[in-house]
Amino acid sequence: AQSVTQLGSHVSVSEGALVLLRCNYSSSVPPYLFWYVQYPNQGLQLLLKYTTGATLVKGINGFEAEFKKSETSFHLTKPSAHMSDAAEYFCALKISNFGNEKLTFGTGTRLTIIP
Amino acid sequence: GAVVSQHPSRVICKSGTSVKIECRSLDFQATTMFWYRQFPKQSLMLMATSNEGSKATYEQGVEKDKFLINHASLTLSTLTVTSAHPEDSSFYICSASLENNSPLHFGNGTRLTVT
C-alpha cells in the first residue's frame, strides 16, 4: 500500500528565511504527488502538483517542490517566508488515474513564521 | 477555477439528533465526491467515496449506517451524521475533481460539535 511521511509536525522559520517542508512517499507504482495548504477552520487549497514530466514544479504563492524518484521525496520549498505562509501543509499521493481519485495524506506540518 | 461549496460551515447539535452536511460543485459536474474527517491537529482521513447515482463506497471502519451519504445529482452530495454522539464531533471536509487527471478541490469544511 502507498504511504506518505511528513518529517516534522512543526516547523518554525523566521520571516524572509528559507522554508523547507519534507515529504517522503512509498508507492509500488509511479505516484502523482500534491501539496495542499490549510488555514484554520478551512478546507484545503492546492499549492502544486506533480504528475509527469518536469520534476521541479512551481506552485502558487512562490512555493515549489522537486520530485526525486531516487530519494522517494517531494519536499516543498519557498526561498523567503512571509507571515501569510503560516498554516498547515499536507503532502498527498495518488496512484490511480482511472476513476479512483483517492488521496493518501501525510500527517501534516504546521508552519510557524517568526517575525 | 473549480469551486466546491460546503454547508454549513459550523453546526452544533445535541446528542441523538441527526445533522446533514451538503457539498456542492458550483461550476462543474462531479460524478465522484469524497468525504474526509479531520481530528484536531491531525491529517485527513477518507471516510467514503460518493458516487452519483449509486451507493457510496465506505472505508474500512466507517459505519455506513451512521454516516449516510447521498449523491443524487452531479453537483450535490450530502453526508448525514445520524444519532450523533460527542465522539462524532470533528471537522468534515468534502472534495471533488473535474476529471480523472485533475487534483481534488476541497470545500471549506464543516465543524460539527455534538453536545
H or E segment and range at residue A46 = strand A44-50
Q: How far apart are CA A19 and CA A11, in angstroms?
A: 9
Question: What is the average pLDDT score of chain B?
Answer: 89
Q: Taking Cα atoms as reference points, which of B68, B64, B72, B75 lies closest to residue B23?
A: B75
pLDDT digits (tens, 9 = 90+) for A19-77: 999 999 998 888 899 999 998 878 889 999 998 889 999 999 999 999 999 999 999 99
pLDDT at A28: 86
Q: Taking Cα atoms as reference points, which of B17, B4, B9, B10 lies closest to residue B66?
A: B17
Chain A with chain B: Cβ pairs closer than 8 A: 54
* Contact criterion met (CB below 8 Å) for A38 and A87: yes
Q: How confident is the model at residue B7 (pLDDT cuts 50, 70, 90)?
A: very high
**Residue whose entry in the numeric block shows the C-alpha cell 454549513:** B8
* A3 to chain B, closest Cα gap in Å: 13
Is the peptide bond preceding residue B8 cis, with omega within 30 degrees of 0?
Answer: yes
Beta bridge partner(s), residue B73: B76
Are A43 and B93 a contacting pair at CB < 8 A? yes
Q: How far apart are CA A35 and CA A37, in angstroms?
A: 7
Helix, strand, coil shares of chain A as percentages rounded to 5? 5, 50, 45
Residue B21 amino acid letter: I
Give the CA distances from residue B4 to residues A96, B88, B91, B114, in Å, rounded to whole numbers and listed in that order. Answer: 22, 23, 16, 25
pLDDT at B51: 83
pLDDT at B20: 97
Average of per-residue pLDDT across B20-43: 88
A99 → closest Cβ in B34, B42, B100: B100
Q: Among A5-9, A31-35, A94-98, which stretch is predicted with the lowest mean pLDDT?
A: A94-98
Residue A6 C-alpha from the chain's centroid: 9
pLDDT at A109: 96
Q: Indicate if the pLDDT at residue A5 is higher than 80.
A: yes
Q: Indicate if the pLDDT at residue A6 is higher than 90.
A: yes
> Between these two residues, A93 and B99, which has the higher pLDDT value?
A93
